[in-house]
Amino acid sequence: MLSVDKITARRGGRVVLRDVSLALPAGKTLIVLGESGAGKSTLVGAVLGLLPLCAGRVSWDAAPLARGGAALVMQEPRAAFNPRLSLRRSICEPLRAKGLPDDPARLTRLCKGLELDEALLDWRPWQISIGEAQRAGVLRALIAAPPLVIFDEPLSALDAMTQKHTARLIATLQREEGFAALTVTHDLGYAAAHADSVAVLRAGQIEEAAPAAQFFTTPQSTYGQSLVSAAISLGALERRAA
């Protein structure tokens, strides 16, 4: 279980997160919702250990979350890869970093699960589509079987049809692999379709946290109510569920 316990974090000399607490059981999906500037990227960096904490603690099963205990899927898929290396070499790097041998059978199985042609792994990231690059990013995150995968706006670079398809592939692999998923996004439709629980981040603080079904039917905070009402009026929840 991921535990984020009352963390405070700075970025650029400014306090961005204040007294943030979250809990995510193994195998479940927690989606952190927030507008631009809410502190979502800082939260990702803090959980991954890339930013020092001013206060609080991040742990997995009551032990400190080691650098290799979580994997990241970035927002801009091509930027996540070294353009000079083949996708295959980049994807297998997490195994080498942990001193593990390459696992061709697992690589093939994950490619099938992500509907990614394994032959594309010998190409460079700029030679494939954005959708293929994002699925390759998911593959790299999963290759070393981490217990926790963090998704930073994982679908925002994709068109609507590719978003739905990729989200369904990720959800299927999560059921098969059993990893916990912490996703930060502004997309309420995605959260409604895929979250087990939701936390609303606003100005660096948690405004509301609840099971997803509860949040999308009876949000408790004024800000949460405004988010859900806006999503309903724009038809975002219905479109995502379709």
Half-sphere exposure of 229 (CA within 13 A, CB side): 8
CA distance 199 to 31: 6
pLDDT band, residue 161 (cuts 50/70/90): confident
Counting other chains too, the contacts that 102-110 makes at CB distance below 8 Å and 24 or more residues apart are: 103/143, 106/143, 106/145, 107/139, 107/143, 110/139, 110/142, 110/143, 110/173
What is the mean predicted confidence (pLDDT) over 2-29?
A: 95
**Which pLDDT tens digit goes with each residue over 185-213?**
988 989 999 999 999 999 999 999 999 99
**Which pLDDT tens digit goes with each residue over 54-80?**
999 999 998 888 767 899 999 888 888
Domains identified in the chain and CATH numbers? 48-210 (3.40.50.300)
CA distance 229 to 178: 33
**Tell me, what DSSP letter sits at residue 76?**
S
pLDDT for 160: 85
Q: What is the mean pLDDT of the chain?
A: 92
CA 46 to each of CA 52, 76, 119, 198, 203: distance values in angstroms, whole numbers, following the listed order? 7, 19, 36, 19, 16
What is the Cα 176 distance to its own chain's centre? 17
What is the mean predicted confidence (pLDDT) over 158-177?
A: 92
pLDDT for 242: 47
First CA to last CA distance, the chain: 31
What is the mean predicted confidence (pLDDT) over 80-106?
A: 93
Instruction: Give the tokens for residue 133.
Output: 């690059």
**Tell me, what DSSP letter sits at residue 104?**
H
pLDDT for 212: 95
Half-sphere exposure of 8 (CA within 13 A, CB side): 7
CA distance 66 to 13: 25
Whether the predicted pLDDT of 241 surpasses 60:
no
Residue of 242, 237, 212 lying closest to 28 (CA atoms): 212
CA distance 118 to 2: 32
CB 134 within 8 A of CB 157: yes
List the alpha helices (DSSP H) in the chain. 40-48, 87-91, 93-97, 104-113, 130-142, 160-177, 188-194, 212-217, 222-234, 236-241
Whether the predicted pLDDT of 8 surpasses 60:
yes
CA distance 16 to 8: 8
CA 210 to each of CA 152, 169, 184: distance values in angstroms, whole numbers, following the listed order? 20, 25, 15
